[in-house]
Amino acid sequence: MTNPTDSIEFASLLCSRLCHDLLSPVGALNNGLELMADETDPDMRQRCLDLLGDSARTSANKLKFFRLAFGSAGGFGEGVPPHEARVAIEGMYAATGRVKIGWLVEEQMLGKLAVKVLLNLALIAGDALVRGGQLDIGAEDRGEMTEIVVRAEGVKLVLDPDLRAALAGTLPIEGLGSRTAAAWMVRQLVNSVGGDIALSPPGEPVLLFGAVIPSRGQA
């Protein structure tokens, strides 16, 4: 990518990530429909229906998450209820049973930027839990700023070096792609309002992300 600030090029990277994540559940829906068309055994048809139901729920959960994480959060006005972010994260991870969610977020409206940062940090940390584990999310409005903390701990914790570099703001332009676009976006958004992102050092048994977002830039 020659110009990462080009809005069309960058949007295409986020769309590629979205399509990648939706390919599996949508493909399962297609497979289930094909099986249903030829299957006459009642038990097998019920299994097909179960497959279709699971795939439909997974697709809906991913779309709900990415709508808030990548989109403009239309329909929520200037703030987003924390409950919406929690439901989105639990739909992405807790529903599978592999990742347990710890939620330490005040029940007051969060700015759209704060929600976007929270969700994307949770996405990166959750994906780093290769074999599942614990994903804890905390956020607190301190008046002049919102502080966000995301913590991941599991048997196998893997954060791609390019993702780490994107969050740290050190990723070369040639390293920007669909896999690193969300992390790069978070860093740019936080920088644009005078905030900051902190990461735990590589090789630690626990992965920690922290973000500080000034209140003036949260809308």
Q: Can you give the pLDDT at residue 41?
A: 81
Question: Which residue blocks in 71-160 are alpha helix, DSSP H?
Answer: 82-92, 112-128
Please check whether residue 181 lies inside any domain of the structure.
yes
Q: Can you give the pLDDT at residue 14?
A: 85
Tens-digit pLDDT string for the chain (219 aa): 445 556 777 888 888 888 888 888 888 888 888 877 777 788 888 888 888 888 888 888 989 999 899 887 656 767 889 999 999 999 998 767 889 999 999 888 899 999 999 999 999 999 999 999 999 999 998 888 999 999 999 999 999 999 999 999 999 888 889 999 999 999 999 999 999 999 999 989 999 999 999 986 565
Residue 71: count of CB within 10 angstroms of its CB: 13
Please check whether residue 105 lies inside any domain of the structure.
yes
Please check whether residue 1 lies inside any domain of the structure.
no
SS3 at position 93: coil
Please check whether residue 2 lies inside any domain of the structure.
no
Q: Can you give the pLDDT at residue 4?
A: 52
Please check whether residue 150 lies inside any domain of the structure.
yes
Please check whether residue 152 lies inside any domain of the structure.
yes
Q: Can you give the pLDDT at residue 2?
A: 46
Say how far apart CA 167 and CA 171 lie, in whole Å: 8
Query: How many distinct structural domains can be found in the chain?
Result: 1
Q: Can you give the pLDDT at residue 74?
A: 58
CA dist 43 to 36, 50, 71, 164, Å?
11, 11, 41, 47
CATH of the domain at 78: 3.30.565.10
Please check whether residue 85 lies inside any domain of the structure.
yes
Ramachandran quadrant class, 104 (left: phi over 0; alpha: psi -120 to 50; beta: rest): beta
State which residues form the domain around 148.
7-217
Are 203 and 194 in contact by the 8 Å Cβ rule? The answer is: no
Q: Specify the long-range contacts of residues 136-142, CB closer than 8 Å, at least 24 apart.
A: 136/101, 136/102, 136/103, 136/104, 137/89, 137/101, 137/102, 137/103, 137/104, 137/105, 138/104, 138/105, 139/82, 139/104, 139/105, 139/106, 139/110, 139/114, 140/105, 140/106, 141/106, 141/108, 141/110, 141/215
Ramachandran quadrant class, 156 (left: phi over 0; alpha: psi -120 to 50; beta: rest): beta
Q: Can you give the pLDDT at residue 152?
A: 97
**Beta strand pairing status for 133-141 and 99-105?**
parallel
Say how far apart CA 181 and CA 179 lie, in whole Å: 6
